[in-house]
Structure 1
Amino acid sequence: MRAHPSLALIANAGAGRVRASTVERIARVLARRFAVTVEIGRSPEEIYALARRSAGRADLVVAFGGDGTASRVAAAVAGSGSSFSVLPGGSTNHVVQLLGLPADPIRAAHALTGPVRYRRLDVGRISADRVLLFLGGVGIDAEIVADASPGVKRFFAWRSYLIPGLRHLGDGPWSFTIEIDGARHEVTARTVLVANGSFLVHPYFRLGPDIDPSDGSLDVLALTPGSLAGWVEVFTWAALGRLWRARSVRRWRGQQVSITPCGRAPVEVDGDPYPDLSALSVTIEPAALTAVVPAFSRGVGEERANRYG
């Protein structure tokens, strides 16, 4: 096991579970193994700038916040030579689950000071300062993300999306042009998802049988229910953990993805709404990120990608 002599902790002061006292405790735990510097950001732009300054200097750059924080830090670290990890400070912490880290930030910090291994992850590049690390989409999923109350998310985690989900169930559909590796598809859908991670909202609700953030590809899923009956079918298959089997779900895979709605549609990336984007274009960067993860645990879907048929 190779030691990391230097570690930069990038904390998001606006994340639901990030407190000054918790940051101090985490820094003390990490200092048992690393030379730790702590940076506190208060906006996505500041978090990216802090991570960019640390990338290539610190051996390990750790994001402490939610999935949006992890995504911004990963955008700065990818390809820099620094390794990456994340501590759970948000409401759903999908990236933490994907990497097999504990759900408690202090326990997760302890895990990084113990035996670790290195996992190469793909990232979906959107722009110089933005990547898709886990999941993005255009349509009602972005409306749900924007509508979920931060206070409710803090206490109810993924369940906080249920009420906004019901509120926006009838929105759309939108007409989309989806281009995947040069092939063009015209689709009418309620939402179109781009997945690097393997599940939606909760690990049980898997998006596909073989989605893996290390496979060099992005998965695209269009949810096309045209009626309440169509939604019932989607929810039934989702409840069975096999969303991809629903007739109202279309799925593709590729390295370059562009999703363009006809007219204005909301966009989200890794749980953060992006009102400045009117379309979503993502290019996979295979194995661009080296993640430090606990040696003796596995992330959601890891080494089980072919378990489901």
Structure 2
Amino acid sequence: MMTTKKKIVFIANPISGFGTSARLNHIIDKNLSSDLFEYELYFTKRPGHAREIAAQAVLENIPIIVAVGGDGTINEVAYPLLGSSSTLGVIPRGSGNGLARHLGIPLNSAKAICTLNKAQEIKIDTCMLGDNFFINVAGIGFDGQVSKTFSQQKNRGFLIYAKCILTQFTNFKPILLEIKGKNISREGKYFVVAAANSSQYGNNAHIAPAASINDGFFDLVLMKPFPLISLPQILTKVFLGKLNTSRFVEIFPSKKVSIKLPQHFPVHLDGDYKPDLLNFDISINASSLRVLVPAQR
């Protein structure tokens, strides 16, 4: 008895480290079950191209659309899939891979492709910051400024990102803002304001240790200004997943909050810098995206 093979479209960021399409084709051919799937591979050619390819794949009713790259590439590929019958797959190839780490997707490309053969489908929440879509984490404040600086660098990678963090830390001044929501009302200066749908930025740096990606809430993380002497302790808590125990941090599970800034300020969405914003809402879109994750044993 013949079974119909499922179609998969792979959408790869050309700076994701594979070098050539032939190399990625070889890895897919070696690890993706040819009995279950037939696939097409596309490399993006410009910013926004991944979204265009994904949108066309949705129109063609492709059941599985796989983002090959970092959280920014995943963001582009995922947006056209919202509310559709298409399911997102992830092959992490970014600097931090926050979403993949949270979902338990292997960072090794061959292993990540292998998981597609026996993956399970789940529904996850997604978020909006104003008119801008994000899945993992959006940030205003210090991390928004770091993202802006990182976007201006010629080279990418974790070491360059770490350098941007150190450079901005000595220059950054906490921002004054007003935050209102159902269970929160705050006005003051903050070092970081992050909306975390998952638990981490990437590289196991946990900004919201208790965040769940399918509970119908994002975690609003407010970090107050802190003295330099407290930096090692805060970083330790970040990488141990205990930032919620810091006296400088408040975390509020939220469905919607409104934020007002006295001046335009940089924001990042899933690690990618967006032009400076002023006033906006952050909201959750519960169970809006189908995603493939490793099957539970």
Question: Fold-level match, TM-score > 0.5?
Answer: yes
* 1:191 counterpart residue number: 192
Provide the C-alpha distance between the structure 1 equivalents of 2:226 and 2:104, rounded to a whole number of angstroms: 37
Provide the C-alpha distance between the structure 1 equivalents of 2:209 and 2:51, rounded to a whole number of angstroms: 33
Could you tell which deviates more after superposition, 102-111 or 19-28? 19-28
Q: Deviations over 1:278-301 (max 9, x none)?
A: 45533211111111112147xxxx
Q: Deviations over 1:210-243 (max 9, x none)?
A: 2110111011111112432454553343354311
Q: 1:39 aligns with which of 39, 42, 46?
A: 42
Provide the C-alpha distance between the structure 1 equivalents of 2:167 and 2:281, rounded to a whole number of angstroms: 27
* 2:140 counterpart residue number: 138
Can you give the 5+ residue segments of structure 2 that lack an aligned partner in the other structure?
none
Provide the C-alpha distance between the structure 2 equivalents of 1:239 and 1:30, rounded to a whole number of angstroms: 33
Q: 2:56 aligns with which of 53, 56, 64?
A: 53
Identity of aligned residues (%): 25
Counting only pairs closer than 5 Å after superposition, residues 107-256 of structure 1 correspond to structure 2 as 107-113=111-117, 115-126=118-129, 130-148=132-150, 149=153, 151-153=155-157, 157=158, 159-170=159-170, 171-181=172-182, 183-203=184-204, 205-256=205-256
Query: How many aligned positions are there?
Result: 289
Q: TM-score, normalised by structure 1?
A: 0.84
Q: Partner amino acid for 2:112?
A: A
Counting only pairs closer than 5 Å after superposition, residues 78-117 of structure 1 correspond to structure 2 as 78-113=82-117, 115-117=118-120
* 1:307 counterpart residue number: none
- Structure 1 residues 276 and 40 mapped into 2: Cα distance closer, same or farther (>3 Å)? farther
Q: Is the 8 A contact 1:132 1:282 kept in 2?
A: no
SS in 1 for 2:128: strand
Q: Is the 8 A contact 1:137 1:269 kept in 2?
A: yes
Provide the C-alpha distance between the structure 1 equivalents of 2:18 and 2:95, rounded to a whole number of angstroms: 8
Q: TM-score, normalised by structure 2?
A: 0.87
Q: Partner amino acid for 1:108?
A: A
SS in 1 for 2:125: strand
Deviation at 1:16, TM superposition (A): 4.4
SS in 2 for 1:235: helix
Q: Partner amino acid for 2:138?
A: G
Can you give the 5+ residue segments of structure 1 that lack an aligned partner in the other structure?
298-309
Q: Is the 8 A contact 1:30 1:112 kept in 2?
A: yes
Provide the C-alpha distance between the structure 1 equivalents of 2:277 and 2:47, rounded to a whole number of angstroms: 15
SS in 1 for 2:275: coil
- Structure 1 residues 200 and 94 mapped into 2: Cα distance closer, same or farther (>3 Å)? closer
Q: Partner amino acid for 2:214?
A: S
Deviation at 1:188, TM superposition (A): 0.8
Provide the C-alpha distance between the structure 2 equivalents of 1:176 and 1:26, rounded to a whole number of angstroms: 48
Q: Is the 8 A contact 2:184 2:252 kept in 1?
A: no
Please identify runs of 4+ aligned residues in structure 1 that moved more than 6 A: none
The CA RMSD over aligned residues, in Å, is 2.5
Q: Is the 8 A contact 1:18 1:65 kept in 2?
A: no
Provide the C-alpha distance between the structure 2 equivalents of 1:126 and 1:26, rounded to a whole number of angstroms: 36
Q: Is the 8 A contact 1:74 1:131 kept in 2?
A: no
